[in-house]
Amino acid sequence: MAEFRIRAGSFPRFLAPFIAPLVLFFAVCLLLGAILTGSTPLGAVLGALATGVLVAVLAAKHRRLASGTVVRFSADGVELTDSYGFRVRLRWPDITRVDVVDTQLANPRRVGRPGGMRARVQPLRSVGLIGWGERTVPPRIPGWMRDRLGRVPVDPVTGRPEVAIPLGEFDPLWERGPMGDWVRRYRADLVG
């Protein structure tokens, strides 16, 4: 068995999908701060402070995610677990392809006013393993996530959902490293 964890220094990649909402948040806080204080420079300071606090919250969430997220390779297959209670398992024979995996970190709904500035959190995109597997989710997840998971295709024979393990989140060059060696050992047909 081999274990892999998210590499240090991945916070900028984690933060990137949140840039547009953070800019919108800063603009709203700047306007509110300027209106409430009667000073544009003070409003800018308040906007920067509020945005800084939000970035700090995202940093704490990333730290928890990175320290608690593990992908394990074994003779049976690949398993991903995280500190929030999500677990995904794929047995080697049930992996159907290596493809792009979209990991949605927050509600994909747009925020803002119609006709005005609007933003949404984009998914993280990386290459990973996709197939018919098992998924365990924590009992309390947001409704948007439950709806999204409910729309995932299901294997008509086994009834198992299509699941994905984003190996590129652990190492963007995983196909050339130890994780790629595991995949080549058990499913050489999936990688070159």
Q: What is the pLDDT of residue 178?
A: 93
Residue 84 Ramachandran class (φ > 0 left, ψ -120 to 50 alpha, else beta): alpha
Q: What is the pLDDT of residue 161?
A: 93
pLDDT tens profile 117-170:
655 555 667 889 999 999 988 888 778 778 887 888 889 988 899 999 988 888
Q: What is the pLDDT of residue 179?
A: 92
Q: What is the pLDDT of residue 183?
A: 93
Report the distance separating Cα 178 and Cα 4, nearest Å.
9
In the predicted structure, residue 76 carries a pLDDT above the cut 90: yes
Verdict on whether the full-model pTM lies above 0.85:
no
pLDDT tens profile 14-38:
777 778 788 888 988 888 888 888 8
Section 107-112 average pLDDT: 56
Report the distance separating Cα 7 and Cα 124, nearest Å.
15
